[in-house]
């Protein structure tokens, strides 16, 4: 089996958990974005943080 064929069969999912720590969430998202193989999906689970995180995530989605 060739690597290219195998790669197309696999999908990478990333799950990030955060609670009131926007700076570390931004660093984590930047790190995920900079990977050579991007994830198929990136879930962010927010433990009822403040509005700063939800505002940043909404801004990030619009970009």
Give CA torsion, residues 44, 37, 12, 9, to 10 deg. 150
For tokens 């955060």, what's the residue? 18
Q: Is residue 48 very low, low, confident or very high in pLDDT (cuts 50, 70, 90)?
A: confident
The more confidently predicted of residues 37 and 56 is: 56
Give yes or no for residue 3 having a pLDDT over 60: no
pLDDT in tens, 9-30: 578 899 999 988 999 999 999 9
Taking residues 31-36, what's their average pLDDT? 91
Give yes or no for residue 8 having a pLDDT over 70: no
CA count, 13 A, side-chain hemisphere, 43: 7
State the residue range of the domain holding 44: 3-62
Q: How many domains does one find in the chain?
A: 1
Whole-number percent of the chain with pLDDT over 90: 41
Residues 6+ apart with CB under 8 A from 44: 15, 16, 17, 18, 25, 29, 57
> Rounded to whole angstroms, how far apart are CA atoms 51 and 63?
18
């Amino acid at each position: 089996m060739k690597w290219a064929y195998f790669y197309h069969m696999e999908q990478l999912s990333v799950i990030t958990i955060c609670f009131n720590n926007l700076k570390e969430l931004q660093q984590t998202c930047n790190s995920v974005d900079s990977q050579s193989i991007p994830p198929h999906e990136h879930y962010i689970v927010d433990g009822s943080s403040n509005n700063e995180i939800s505002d940043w995530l909404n801004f990030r989605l619009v970009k």
